[in-house]
Amino acid sequence: MPELSDFVLGVISGSAATLAGFGFTMAWDLWKIRREEKCRNQAIVRAVKHELDENVEIGKANLKLLDEESKMLSEGYLLVPMLPFKDGIWDLLKANLPDKLLIQTELLTGLRDASIGALHLNAGTNSRQAYKDTSGAMSNFRQTIKIRNDLLVAEIKEFTSGIEKLFQLLQEKAGEI
């Protein structure tokens, strides 16, 4: 019988070692997955912050360009086309939406609105540029461009103001994501 108890003890100790190894492997994998997820989420937040910051800078550049153009318009000069806004935030988030961002309704909605706002402004600047390229000989050209510029200035200011608020909200909530 002593051989049987050695055998049973061997099976029990082998099973315990196997279960302990399995437990440690699972714990390691869970830790690794969480670490990788945290790194991925941080990279997404950095990319979103970068795009928001870029759009604020593009807005400032476009406002300066529109201001200079309005001064030069009376002299018959037109400046270069406006810079397009970055509009890839939503595509990035659709592909890699962090779970914790799903519960940040205000932030998620704001990011979606920022993406739509960038698309809207890009359509407006493209329309304005097409008008500039094709309608320069019209008698009401300067008046129409001035109206379009004034509308774009107001929209850009509203857009960049919204982005700055969104950027601040993202700063506050970044630790939670």
**Top-confidence residue, 73 or 155:** 155
Strands (E), 88-144: none
| Cα–Cα distances in angstroms (integers) from residue 2 to residues 6, 7, 8, 101, in the given order | 6, 9, 10, 61
What pLDDT is stored for residue 176 in this prediction?
Answer: 64
The DSSP code sequence of 34-66 is HHHHHHHHHHHHHHHHHHHHHHHHHHHHHHHHH
Does position 38 have pLDDT exceeding 60, yes or no?
yes
CA–CA distance, 169 with 177 (Å, rounded to integer): 12
Instruction: Dump pLDDT digits (tens) for 125-137.
Output: 999 999 988 887 8
Is pLDDT above 60 for 1?
Answer: no
CA distance 99 to 44: 12
Q: Which residues have a Cβ under 8 Å from the Cβ of 67 and sit 6 or more positions away? A: 153
pLDDT by residue (tens digit) across 77-86?
Answer: 677 889 999 9
Structure tokens at 19: 């279960």
Identify the pLDDT of residue 4: 66
